[in-house]
Amino acid sequence: MTSTSLTFPVRNDQLPALREAIEQADRQTRAHGLTGCHLSRGPVEPMPWPDVNGVPIGAVAVQDVTVTFPLLQFEGWTVIAQVEHDGTAGNTVTALPPFEDEAADRIAHCDACGERGALTSYLLRHEDGSTMQLGTTCAGPYANLSVTVLRDLWDLIRCCLAAEPYEPGEVPPDLRLHVDQVLEYAVALTIQAGYVKRGGGWTTAEQVRALLLGGAGREALDQLHEHLRAAGNVEATAAAVRDWCLHGDAAASDYRRKLARAVAQDLAPADIGLVVSAVPMYLREAQRRLTTEDRESITATVTEVSPLTSQWGERRRVRFTDGAGRRYAWDSMTQPFPEEGQRLRVTGRVVRNAVREGMVETYLTRCRVAPA
C-alpha cells in the first residue's frame, strides 16, 4: 500500500484551510516523485448545533470529506507519526490511525545518530512490526525522506486529525439558530426581567445571545436560566410573536418586513437583536387589542399606589408595568395593599383601555395577586 485516506466531517467554512493544506502537500509530494494528495467530498447535510449545555439551538452545514495522500516509505519502513518534543509542555503526537498509542511517550532521540534532544522526530514502523525513531535532520540522508515533504504532509495530516465541526464558544458564519428558541428565550427574559434596549445596560438581545452562544460568566448564565425557569411555559406567546412577525411581510414598515423575512426560516446570529426587539412590540400591540371581559395574566412591578375616595372603606389605585413596558391599573380595596417596587403575578379581568402620558394603560378588576 503506497497511499492512505482519512475520512472526517467538516463545516463549509473549514474547507478553505483544508484545501490550502492539501494543495501545499500535493505540490511537495508530486515534486519528489510521489503520488499526489486529493480531496473528495460527500453530500452537504445539516448538523445540530448545541449550546454550552448540549441543548440543540440550531444547525450548520457539514459534509464528510476524504483526504487521500501518499505514505512515506523506504525498505519496508513507513512513517507513522510525528512527535514534537517539549520538555515543559510534553509531547505533541500526530499519528496515523491506529498507531496513536505506539507513538505516545517517546523521548527526544534519534536512532540513526544516537543524539538526544531533537525538537521534532518521526516514528517509522517496519513490516515486521519493529519501530525506529529519526530526528528531522537524519530523515533525509538516512531514509531518503525530504524534510519539506515530511513537514507539509504532516501539516496536512494534523489538519485532518484536528478537524472538529463543533467547538464550544465558536460561532460558524453559516450557523442558523432556531427562531422559536430565540423567541422563547426573549419572551421569558422580557416577562421576568424586563426588556432592556441598547443604552440601558446588558441588553435583552445580548442576554439571549449569551444563552445561545455563550460568552458570559457562569454566574450571569445561572441568573438568566433562573429567569427562564421562573417564566414557565412561554411557547404559546413565542409562537404568537412569530406569527405576528410573519404577518408583517406586506406592511408599509421596513422594520416589519425585515422581521417577516428574519423569522421565515432559521436565523443568522446577526439577526438576534432584530428578532428579540419584536417581543415588546408584539406585547404592547396585543395589549391595545384587549377588550372588556378579557382575562389578562401578567408578571409586573408595582410602580405607584395612590389613595382613592371611597364611601366603602380604604381604596387604592395600584399601577403596574410589565417587562415589555405595558401599563396596567387596578382599583383595589383588598388589603394589605401592594407596595411600590413589589414584583407580583396579577390575573384580572379587563375593564377598559385608556391613554395615559401617551401610553396605553389597561384597567383590570377582580384581580388575584401573588408574589412573582
Distances (CA, A) of 229 to 22, 186, 237, 323: 49, 13, 15, 16
Q: How far out from the chain centre does Cα 340 lie? A: 39
- Structure-block grid coordinates of residue 100: 496513536
Residue with cell 521534532: 120
CATH top-level class of 295-371: mainly beta
Nearest Cα to 47, choosing from 15, 18, 10?
Answer: 10
| Mean pLDDT value across residues 185-203 | 87
| pLDDT tens, residue by residue, 256-300 | 999 999 999 999 999 999 999 999 889 888 888 888 778 888 889
pLDDT tens sequence across 304-339: 999 998 888 899 999 999 877 789 999 999 889 999
pLDDT at 261: 92
What would the DSSP string read from start to end of 95-149?
A: E-TT-HHHHTT--SB-TTT--B--SEEEEEEETTS-EEEEEHHHHHHHH---HHH
pLDDT tens digits, one per residue of 18-63: 999 999 999 999 998 888 999 999 999 999 999 878 889 999 999 9
Give me the residues paired with residue 60 across strands.
Answer: 47
Q: Which of 6-20, 80-94, 292-306 has the highest mean pLDDT?
A: 6-20
Portion of the chain with pLDDT greater than 70, in percent: 98
Cβ-based burial of 323 (10 A; exposed 0-12, middle 13-18, buried ≥19): buried
In Å, what is the CA distance from 102 to each residue of 123, 124, 225, 283? 9, 10, 46, 63
Query: What pLDDT score was predicted for residue 312?
Result: 83
Domain boundaries, the chain: 3-162, 177-288, 295-371
Mean pLDDT calculated for residue range 86-114: 80
pTM metric for this prediction: 0.73
Query: What one-letter code names the amino acid at 191?
Result: I
Mean pLDDT of 343-351: 93
